[in-house]
Amino acid sequence: MLQISYIRENRDKVIERLAVRNFTQIELVDEIIGLDEQIRSTKSASESISAEANAAAKQIGDLMRQGKREEAEEIKARSGEYKEEVKLLLEKLGGLEEEFFQKIVQLPNLPYKDVPAGRTADDNQVVLEHGHKLMLPDDALPHWELAAKYDIIDFELGVKVSGAGFPVYKGKGARLQRALINFFLDQATDNGYREVQVPILINGESGFGTGQLPDKEGQMYYVGADDLYLIPTAEVPVTNMYRGEILKEEDFPIKNTAYTPCFRREAGSYGAHVRGLNRLHQFDKVELVQIVHPDNSYEVLEEMSTYVQSLLQKLKLPYRVLRLCGGDMGFTSAMTYDMEVWSGAQKRWLEVSSVSNFETYQSNRLKTRFKGMDGKMHLVHTLNGSALALPRIVACILEENQAENGIKVPEVLVPYTGFEWID
């Protein structure tokens, strides 16, 4: 959530940066500023009348002690009017604050200065490409056919048990999943991240804190009886570990990693591009979350991007890095890099990771702060990234490493799988 002090003091800049996102409800900015002015004037009036009421109460006591009952009674009668005025002002204030909240949560984060303008994924900038795309033969199989051929992922069985988008991993397919999870976690802890195990059900406060609510409410699975949501990513519970906390500046950077299953309704997703593992309702992911000093967050963003790329390099998968344009970024992000892996059989790029800097957008909602060297409280910057999401990584590993006698397991995973070939 944007800070009202920043909006108030930088109105034109806020409008300019929102235009980079193609945000069309620009009138909200002035409405929010106007409501803020009304809130502050109403608070001021309430406080002024309360001060008058307190002074009157003291005066009544003084007059009563002096035996001036008649004068005291006159002021006492006025005290009742003070109370009624304050009550009405507080009722007005409550309505204004609710209207203000409903409007300010509709504003997305402001794009960082390096974020390119653009409307769709076609306007994203390719930062770099790494590795060579293998020229697979024309009869190369897509991962869903390889999964059936070697009986390692059963999509139909998942439909029977739950529905489309809930595959069942079997035999070496399940072992490959577990190997990737352990490999990613080991790599993260070797790079200074603390592993945590977190709940996969969250309350509404946690969903609001990281920006999933109210923006993505329709994309999350909701357990109505308990008023809880299934997590769309480990980012939510991990970041919310610090909700309401005052942190120590010397503890930065705070680095956590977590493996969780993730759940997304993906409403409206259909067609060939979602076939097989390309888009699921339940999938496994290892997440990175950092909480850092505001002065260092973009340096940390670059470090996280480089780290995610190192995982793809170790898996020997060709990839590219995109800087997302304003129109393609998530609601809460100030800047995002996407990593995409080349799918040789499908002949297209598949997103496998997003690394984002949220600046103070999440921490303002979370009220996560630190006391600076200047003695004042400041909001932290939060960042997260997938390292990595498994489904499309598995898809590309199967497709890129297929051979006549089976599928070659990437060398770095063999100590985790215990086998070199899926055959």
Is the same domain home to 233 and 379? yes
Instruction: Write the DSSP symbol of residue 353.
Output: E
Is the same domain home to 344 and 418? yes
At 74, which helix (H) or strand (E)? Answer: helix 69-104
Amino acid at position 281, single letter: H
Average pLDDT taken over every residue of the chain: 93
User: Which residue among 78, 104, 130 closes a domain?
Assistant: 104
User: Which residue among 71, 104, 137 closes a domain?
Assistant: 104
Return binding residues for L-serine: 233, 264, 287, 384
Instruction: Write the DSSP symbol of residue 261.
Output: E
| pLDDT tens-digit series, residues 296-326 | 999 999 999 999 999 999 999 999 999 999 9
For residue 372, being part of any structural domain is answered with: yes
Is the same domain home to 131 and 54? no
Is the same domain home to 247 and 392? yes
**Alpha-carbon dihedral angle through residues 9, 11, 12, 15, given to the nearest 10 degrees:** 140
Question: What is this structure's pTM?
Answer: 0.92
DSSP letter for each residue of 365-396: HHT-EEE-TTS-EEE-EEEEEEEEEHHHHHHH
Q: Which CATH number do you get for residue 77?
A: 1.10.287.40
Residue showing tokens 């072992």: 175
Return binding residues: 233, 264-266, 287, 351-354, 384
| Res. 218 pLDDT band, cuts 50 70 90 | confident
Q: Which CATH number do you get for residue 368?
A: 3.30.930.10
What average pLDDT does the segment 63-83 reach?
68
| Res. 346 pLDDT band, cuts 50 70 90 | very high
Is the same domain home to 74 and 165? no
Q: What is the pLDDT of residue 69?
A: 67
Is the same domain home to 58 and 151? no
Q: Is the pLDDT of residue 294 over 80?
A: yes
Q: Is the pLDDT of residue 55 over 90?
A: no
Least confident of 107-121, 144-158, 214-228, 401-415: 214-228
For residue 111, being part of any structural domain is answered with: no
| pLDDT tens-digit series, residues 141-196 | 999 999 999 999 999 999 999 999 999 999 999 999 999 999 999 999 999 999 99
Is the same domain home to 82 and 132? no
Rounded distance between C-alpha atoms, residue 352 and residue 346, angstroms = 15
277 or 69, which is more confident? 277
Query: Domain range spanning residue 189?
Result: 121-422
Is the same domain home to 187 and 317? yes
Least confident of 49-63, 203-217, 234-248, 250-264: 49-63
Q: Is the pLDDT of residue 248 over 80?
A: yes
| Res. 267 pLDDT band, cuts 50 70 90 | low
Is the same domain home to 237 and 359? yes
Q: What is the pLDDT of residue 268?
A: 52
Q: What is the pLDDT of residue 272?
A: 56
Q: Is the pLDDT of residue 377 over 90?
A: yes
For residue 116, being part of any structural domain is answered with: no
For residue 284, being part of any structural domain is answered with: yes
Is the same domain home to 324 and 229? yes
For residue 40, being part of any structural domain is answered with: yes
Rounded distance between C-alpha atoms, residue 328 and residue 331, angstroms = 9
Q: Is the pLDDT of residue 197 over 80?
A: yes
User: How many separate domains does the chain show?
Assistant: 2
271: left (phi over 0), alpha (psi -120 to 50) or beta: left
For residue 109, being part of any structural domain is answered with: no
What average pLDDT does the segment 406-414 reach?
98
For residue 115, being part of any structural domain is answered with: no
| Res. 140 pLDDT band, cuts 50 70 90 | very high
Is the same domain home to 86 and 136? no
CA 63 to chain centre: 61
Return binding residues for ATP: 264-266, 351-354
Q: Which residues contact 16 (CB under 8 A, 6 or more apart)?
A: none
Least confident of 20-34, 136-150, 264-278, 343-357: 264-278
| Res. 363 pLDDT band, cuts 50 70 90 | very high
Is the same domain home to 55 and 174? no
User: Which residue among 104, 137, 164 closes a domain?
Assistant: 104
For residue 75, being part of any structural domain is answered with: yes
| Res. 269 pLDDT band, cuts 50 70 90 | low
